[in-house]
């Protein structure tokens, strides 16, 4: 079994965590390594639920902070093992997971081992299946099995944020928009009715759509409505009777999931629409006292989070939550995924300073 040494630097730990492949649905090896590394720490109570590991202090502090990070990645594409690279004089770690979000996980693991007397009680969560459908998410399972573990006054997700604080997150909706036709031999196409051709208005509407900028509590969230997949066709000599366009709608946290569904159905009026995945967004939550203390301590200027993250899960439970982690979000899932070593160090310093100061 791979082993993790929590005494090394956060950058070295990032490399070690990344070099244990953990594409969604294959996280067990990394979960085993994390569980083995944190279980001997006497100041932590360690709980395992599937491939989700929870470690928490029980110091009787007046406040509790939940700090979480997912351990899965999108598929590897010849970008492991991790390698060092220098670009414009800056040192990077290059490879799958360095940005999304194993550098953040490495920082959390190191601090979990070393912060034996923090100013607040801390619940550390490292969870599986974040990069896939919401119902598979390890936190979904954990919330059903141990809802008490989510209790807290503030939560921090180690999602990549360029070492800045990103408040809240956009909601995420996926829908299948379908067109129907009639099959026939392509040599007698006039007998059939081509469903793929009927998809042209769907694509036209999307190409002409202008995304909205929506302000929520002082942060401006940019929405997006895009086709992300299209499928149709039976054979090279058959007129297709079905075409499906998968659409992704990223909606500002001012909108409820129900409003998002209504917007998509209205946008594609006249077509069959099936919503296949839906997760509400999260308002920034930066008005909470602990959030304000945290932002001040790390010296960050809050920004909006355009992607969906599990801050939404905590927000729905009434726990204000922000994103704070190393890595450029625009490089998440990118084949050139890479994180500046200095940013890993800076995030570690920021969290350590805030959690240690009394």
DSSP string, 264-285: HHHHTTTSEEEEEEEE--B---
Choosing from 72, 166, 241, 310, the catalytic residue is: 72
Neighbours of 259 (CB within 10 A): 13
**Using CB atoms within 10 A of its CB, is residue 229 exposed (0-12), middle (13-18) or buried (19+)?**
exposed
Q: Where are the alpha helices (DSSP H) in 275-328?
A: 289-298, 311-316
Q: Coil, strand, or helix at residue 255?
A: coil
User: Can you tell me the distance from the alpha carbon of 27 to that of 138, in angstroms, rounded to the nearest whole number?
Assistant: 11
CB within 8 A of 307, min separation 6: which ones?
159, 169, 170, 172, 250, 329, 332
Res 287: pLDDT? 86
CB within 8 A of 261, min separation 6: which ones?
173, 275, 278
Choosing from 27, 49, 130, 166, the catalytic residue is: 130
User: Can you tell me the distance from the alpha carbon of 290 to that of 120, in angstroms, rounded to the nearest whole number?
Assistant: 10
Walking along the chain (358 residues) 10 residues at a time, the average pLDDT comes out as 95 98 98 98 98 98 97 97 94 98 98 97 98 91 96 96 95 97 97 98 98 94 97 97 98 96 98 95 90 90 91 91 96 97 97 89
25 a catalytic residue: no
CB within 8 A of 74, min separation 6: which ones?
23, 24, 96, 100, 131, 333
287 a catalytic residue: no
Res 128: pLDDT? 98
CB of 266 closer than 8 Å to CB of 129: no
Closest CA to 25 of 127, 129, 96: 129
Tell me the HSE value of 181 on the side-chain side, using a 13 A CA sphere.
Answer: 23
Q: 233: which DSSP letter? A: -
């Amino acid at each position: 079994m791979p082993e993790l040494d929590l005494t090394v630097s956060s950058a070295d730990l990032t490399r070690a965590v990344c070099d244990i492949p953990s594409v969604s649905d294959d996280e067990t090896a990394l979960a085993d390594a994390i569980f083995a590394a944190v279980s001997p720490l006497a100041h932590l109570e360690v709980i395992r639920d599937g491939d989700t590991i929870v470690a928490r202090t029980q110091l009787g502090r007046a406040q509790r902070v939940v700090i979480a990070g997912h351990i899965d990645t999108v598929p590897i594409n010849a970008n492991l093992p991790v390698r060092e690279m220098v670009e414009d004089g800056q040192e990077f770690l290059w490879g799958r997971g360095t940005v999304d979000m194993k550098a953040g996980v490495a920082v959390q693991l190191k601090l979990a081992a070393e912060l034996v007397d923090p100013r607040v009680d801390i619940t550390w969560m490292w969870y599986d299946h974040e990069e896939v459908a919401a119902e598979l998410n390890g936190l979904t399972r954990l919330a059903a099995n141990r809802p008490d573990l989510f209790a807290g006054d503030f939560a921090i997700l180690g999602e990549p944020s360029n070492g800045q604080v990103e408040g809240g997150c956009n909601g995420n909706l996926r829908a299948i928009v379908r067109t129907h036709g009639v099959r026939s031999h392509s040599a007698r196409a006039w007998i059939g009715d081509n469903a793929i051709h009927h998809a042209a208005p769907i694509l036209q509407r999307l190409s002409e759509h202008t995304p909205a900028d929506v302000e929520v509590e002082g942060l401006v969230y940019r929405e997006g409505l895009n086709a992300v997949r299209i499928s149709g066709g039976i054979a090279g000599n058959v007129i297709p009777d079905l075409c499906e366009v998968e659409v992704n709608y990223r909606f500002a946290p001012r909108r409820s999931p129900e409003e998002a569904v209504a917007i998509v159905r209205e946008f594609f009026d006249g077509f069959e629409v099936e919503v296949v995945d839906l997760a509400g967004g999260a308002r920034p939550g930066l008005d909470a006292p602990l959030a304000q203390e945290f932002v001040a301590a790390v010296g960050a200027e809050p920004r909006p989070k355009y992607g969906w993250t599990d801050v939404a899960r905590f927000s729905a439970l009434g726990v204000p939550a922000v994103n704070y982690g190393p890595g450029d979000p625009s490089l998440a899932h990118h084949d050139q995924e890479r994180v500046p070593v200095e940013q890993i160090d800076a995030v570690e310093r920021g969290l350590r300073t805030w959690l240690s100061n009394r």
